[in-house]
């Protein structure tokens, strides 16, 4: 438990400077459209005037740059190993969105060392002071470092589909994080829903399970429909929210973003929360 001096220091830090919110986008299993959601979610946040950076944490198998139709010469691994500066691995996407690629080609499979973690902390500290949102598109696998990141971020956005395996895996993911941090903010959405009813039933089941078995309330953002424009936008390598601004899925996404930002504003100044960076440093020090 932190002492009073540390608690006071953290309160003063938040009062002096509003730090950006850290968000991890996760799914229990692959194939649910997580990266596509991350791209369109952050693009829409940027469209409404937020300063956003999207970080592809699937090192070695990242696809954020591919969804944008870009070939990037540098990626997060280049920064972590000290070959590039943070500015050299950041690129501009639609609506002034900034993004950092995780790279591709499986070359990024690695274990982080102390130097890498120090550089990661330095980058996050800078980004948190200069952006409204730091959004992490998490990979399907899990390492000790990525688990530390999940426990440290302010908010978790969990994506599921109506498939039973996806629902079970989404619950398992939330359950794991909950046991590490019972106070974590969970936001849930059902992707690729074939109807409003299917989306509602899916999120309601998960919300009930979390409440019944863990006494944990989560926030449901709603559902995004199965929409052919998603596949067409992926083929064109342009976010559907930009390529098809009048599509049903784009309108639903904009409603989600509005709901998320309104809820987030209400929860930003919780005085007992430590900062994202402090939590991450604390967890890493325990492993050292």
- Residue-wise pLDDT for 78-136, tens only, equals 999 999 999 999 999 999 999 999 887 655 445 678 888 899 999 999 999 999 999 99
Q: What is the C-alpha separation between 164 and 170, in angstroms, rounded?
A: 10
36-50: burial string, b at 16+ Cβ within 10 Å, e else: bbbbbbbbbbbbeeb
What rounded mean pLDDT belongs to the chain?
88
pLDDT at residue number 9: 57
Q: Is the predicted pLDDT of residue 229 greater than 90, yes or no?
A: yes
Q: For 168-173, what is the mean pLDDT?
A: 94
Top pLDDT among 279 and 190 is at 190
The confidence score (pLDDT) of residue 246 equals 97
Mean pLDDT (whole number) for 225-243: 97
Assigned token pair, 230: 């998603």
> Which residues lie below 8 Å from residue 163, measured CB to CB, with a gap of 6+?
none
Cβ contact 89:74 at 8 Å:
yes
Which residues on adjacent β-strands are paired with residue 21?
Answer: 133
Average pLDDT over residues 272-281: 74
Phi and psi dihedrals of 100, rounded to 5? -125, 120
Q: With CA atoms as reference, report the closest residue to 40 among 225, 253, 259.
A: 253
Q: Which pLDDT belongs to residue 94?
A: 96
Query: Residue 272 pLDDT > 50, yes or no?
Result: no
- Residue 2's pLDDT is what? 45
pLDDT at residue 72 above 90? yes
* pLDDT value at residue 16: 54
Q: Are strands 21-27 and 98-100 parallel, antiparallel or unpaired?
A: unpaired
- For the chain, what percent of residues have pLDDT higher than 90? 70
Q: How many Å separate Cα 214 from the centre of its chain?
A: 23
**245 exposed, middle or buried (CB, 10 Å; 0-12, 13-18, 19+)?**
exposed
Calculate the CA dihedral of residues 161, 152, 142, 56 and round it to 10 degrees: 70
pLDDT at 273: 45
Mean pLDDT of 46-69: 92
pLDDT of residue 136: 97
pLDDT digits (tens, 9 = 90+) for 3-24: 555 555 555 554 456 889 999 9
For the chain, the maximum distance between any two Cα atoms, rounded to a whole number of angstroms, is: 55
Please give the pLDDT value at position 139: 80
- Of 65 and 143, the structure prediction assigns the larger pLDDT to 65
Q: How confident is the model at residue 279 (pLDDT cuts 50, 70, 90)?
A: confident
Q: 133-137 and 21-27 as β-strands: parallel, antiparallel, unpaired?
A: parallel
């Amino acid at each position: 438990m932190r002492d009073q001096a540390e608690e006071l220091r953290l309160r003063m830090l938040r009062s002096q400077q509003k730090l950006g919110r850290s968000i991890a986008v996760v799914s229990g299993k692959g194939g649910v459209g997580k990266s596509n959601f991350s791209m369109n979610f952050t693009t829409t946040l940027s469209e409404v005037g937020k300063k956003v950076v999207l970080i592809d944490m699937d090192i070695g198998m990242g696809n954020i740059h591919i969804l944008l139709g870009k070939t990037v010469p540098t990626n997060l691994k280049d920064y972590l190993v000290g070959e590039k500066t943070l500015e050299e691995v950041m690129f501009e996407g639609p609506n002034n969105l900034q993004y950092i690629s995780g790279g591709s080609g499986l070359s990024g499979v690695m274990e982080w060392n102390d130097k890498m973690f120090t550089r990661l902390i330095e980058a996050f500290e800078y980004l948190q002071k200069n952006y409204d949102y730091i959004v992490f598109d998490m990979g399907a696998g899990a390492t000790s470092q990525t688990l530390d990141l999940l426990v440290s971020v302010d908010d978790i956005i969990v994506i599921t589909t109506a498939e039973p395996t996806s629902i079970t895996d989404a619950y398992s993911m939330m359950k794991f994080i909950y046991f590490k941090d019972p106070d974590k903010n969970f936001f849930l959405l059902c992707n690729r829903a074939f109807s409003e009813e299917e989306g509602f039933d899916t999120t309601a089941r998960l919300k009930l399970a979390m409440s019944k078995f863990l006494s944990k309330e989560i926030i449901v953002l709603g559902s995004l429909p199965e929409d052919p424009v998603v596949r067409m936008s992926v083929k064109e390598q342009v976010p559907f929210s930009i390529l098809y601004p009048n599509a049903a899925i784009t309108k639903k996404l904009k409603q989600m973003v509005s709901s998320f930002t309104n809820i987030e504003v209400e929860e930003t100044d919780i005085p007992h929360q430590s900062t994202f960076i402090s939590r991450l440093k604390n967890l890493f020090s325990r492993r050292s």
